[in-house]
Amino acid sequence: MSDQGTDYRVVALPGEGVGLEVTEAALQILHWIACQHHFTVQIDRGWIGAPAVPLFGSPFPDVTAQLCQDCDGILLGAVSQGLLELRQHFDFFANLRPVSPYPGLIDQSPLQPDRLLGVDLLFVRELVSGIYFGAAGRSSDDRGSYGYHTMQYHDWEIERIARVALQQARSRRCHLTIAHKENALPQIPWVRLVQAVGAEFPAVTLQPMLVDNLAMQLILQPQQFDVILAGNLLGDILSDLGGVLVGSIGLLGSASLNAAGLGLYEPIHGTAPNIAGQGIANPFGAIQSVILMLQQWGQQAAAAQIQQAIQIFFDRGYRTADLNRYSDQPTLTTQACIDQLIRILRSLDQSI
């Protein structure tokens, strides 16, 4: 790193519900680690979701799009609207959702520990096409009113996400599972298209799997997977099963990248209105998203240090409200988690 340090500009879009709490929490960790690793991060806060509507007439207003222009990363909390527009605007087509259970939380999953040990998988989900963005509407005919959403994929959209998944697999354990439903949806040939790109990646083994079976296999034998590639809708559904494997969906983060390498980083949980404002939301999905942002920046040491601190945090038995099923430890608030995590980070730092 240069003597001047490295400067990054991050746009924080806290959004709604618990998004506000977890984003501020994750930013504290980002500031701490930046200071420790001698780089600076400037935070610009922007509006998105329901709170943006009365102010700007849209859940993803132009001012927010402009604020995000030329930044080094967007950190999003949670929203009930505006997210698809944000993803599409910056063409964040490659959604990465890593799932690896913390050893200290292995008792949190309904699955038996022997099925979870060593699980380390990555969902690669296509994020800006498919049924989420196809022609849709409501109409009526002689049988009554009806609605429709259409799934459409250009071959190149499948090929470009396939390339991302293959690259990820090549840098991991060289195994790529292709989620598909071609027995019912044969016009979108995921398997053939991914296999064609796969020819450029001879080291990677390809395994096509019907998505219904894949969902079952994820629960029965998750250790068999390395990278799982899926279209937008299937990837959304499958990746929630990752929350079952790790013990809570509140623990999972994600990165959504475009071709230029710009990323949107967000926990995969939603706004959780039932617990919003109570200060008890699990901040680790947002912190995992910060880790993914640091990795994308090439700040691997900073990312690894936070990851190690989180592991120690859970090894010591600390739990958030969503994770307190079996622990006799008191539940930590969001801020108490951050305070504790920084304490652990400090102790790690002194031991280096």
Q: Which residues does the annotation mark as catalytic?
A: 132, 181, 212, 236, 240
Scan residues 70-129 and list those touching ligand IPM (CB under 6 A). 83
- Nearest distance from residue 268's CB to ligand IPM, in Å? 5
Asked if 249 interacts with ligand IPM (CB under 6 A), we say: no
Instruction: Give the containing element (helix H, strand E) for 230.
Output: strand 227-230
In angstroms, rounded to a whole number, what is the distance separating the alpha carbons of residues 267 and 25? 12
Please, how many CA atoms are within 13 Å of residue 123, restricted to the half-sphere of its CB?
32
Integer-rounded Cα Rg, in Å, for the chain is 20
Per-position x/- string for 231-260, each x denoting binding to Mn ion as judged by CB under 5 A, each - no binding: -----x------------------------
Picked from ligand IPM, Mn ion, none, the partner binding residue 162 (CB below 5 to 8 A depending on kind) is none
Token pair for 217: 């296999």
- Nearest distance from residue 176's CB to Mn ion, in Å? 22
Asked if 268 interacts with ligand IPM (CB under 6 A), we say: yes
Token pair for 255: 């990165």
- Nearest distance from residue 125's CB to ligand IPM, in Å? 8
Residues contacting Mn ion: total by CB under 5 A: 1
Asked if residue 289 lies in contact with residue 253, where contact means CB atoms within 8 angstroms, the answer is yes
Asked if 218 interacts with ligand IPM (CB under 6 A), we say: no
Picked from Mn ion, ligand IPM, none, the partner binding residue 11 (CB below 5 to 8 A depending on kind) is none
DSSP 252-263: -EEEEE-TT--E
Asked if 322 interacts with Mn ion (CB under 5 A), we say: no
Closest among 124, 32, 29, 121 to 75, alpha carbons compared: 29
In angstroms, rounded to a whole number, what is the distance separating the alpha carbons of residues 8 and 329? 38
Asked if 16 interacts with ligand IPM (CB under 6 A), we say: no
Residue nearest to ligand IPM (CB): 236
- Nearest distance from residue 232's CB to ligand IPM, in Å? 7
Asked if residue 73 lies in contact with residue 298, where contact means CB atoms within 8 angstroms, the answer is no
Scan residues 226-245 and list those touching ligand IPM (CB under 6 A). 236
